[in-house]
Amino acid sequence: MALVALTVWAAPMPVAAQSVAPPSQQAIPSGQVLPPSTPEERIEALTARVQELEAQHTKLENQILELTDRLNVLLGAPERQDVFVIPLGESPIRGNPQAPVTLTVFGDYQSGYTARAQAVVQLLLEEFSNQLRYVYKHFPLSARNAQANEAALSAIAAQRQNKFWEMHDALFRNSRRLEPNLYLVLAEQNGLDLLQFQSDRNSLWTLERLSEDEKLGAKLGVADVPAFFLNGRRMSTWRHDYLKEQIRRVLAN
């Protein structure tokens, strides 16, 4: 009898079953965000992250430009007085072909700075209408930008079909996503004959045109882009207010 009582006394008491909520119903600690669970949510999260990084990149570029301008002022960077003879060659002209002021820009279609500078050029063309003409020269930084050379060849090839500026603008709008398959897409979107476009991209005329611009840029001391020349004189910056004042001075003389 004592043995039975001891056994009963020693038996473990039943533990009340605890219900565990499924993960989807568990409370989320304050400040913690669950990772996206569906493909759509993951794509949306990645897109938002890319946009955030692009905004940070643009902000950093603006800060660099501002600091560069301030440094030039602090160092008293003198304006270059050398006036170069820059042959027009077969470069297309945007604006009045007979304008008294010529803005020549050496650029790279994969350069973020050159792409952003196009907005400044367009604004100046609107402000000075018949008094300013814009000439673009190709200076691809192939060692830095993998698609720079191919993009330049695409623009020159489009020139053969009188579509240079259409391709020029399209390439700069897509400067961050240039890749081999994109050039045919842009050519088709802008109404080019694709067979001729492909042939012209590899033609001797196109290669020589690119080489001429590169040699000219090197002769003028261009090492980075964009490089702005106003009536043959090298500009120290491509800020809008600065260029606007320089154009006014040229027109006043």
Q: Is the pLDDT of residue 14 over 90?
A: no
Same-domain pairing of 133 and 237? yes
- Could you read off the pLDDT of 76-118 as tens digits, one per residue? 444 556 899 999 999 999 999 999 999 999 999 999 999 999 9
Residue 213 · residue 136 · CB < 8 Å: no
Same-domain pairing of 188 and 239? yes
**Residue-level pLDDT at 59:** 65
For range 18-46, the mean pLDDT: 64
| CATH number of the domain within which 220 lies | 3.40.30.10
β-bridge partners, 227: 106
* In-domain check, residue 217: yes
- Could you read off the pLDDT of 183-228 as tens digits, one per residue? 999 999 999 999 999 999 999 999 999 999 999 999 999 999 999 9
Same-domain pairing of 69 and 98? no
* In-domain check, residue 88: no
The domain boundary residue, chosen from 77, 103, 121? 77
Q: Is the pLDDT of residue 53 over 90?
A: no
pTM of the model: 0.72
**Residue-level pLDDT at 49:** 81
Domain that holds residue 186: 93-252
Host H or E run for residue 228: strand 227-230
- Judging by beta carbons within 10 Å of its beta carbon (0-12, 13-18, 19+), is residue 250 exposed, middle or buried? middle
Q: How many structural domains does the chain have? A: 2
List strand residue ranges (DSSP E) for 90-192, in order. 93-95, 101-107, 132-138
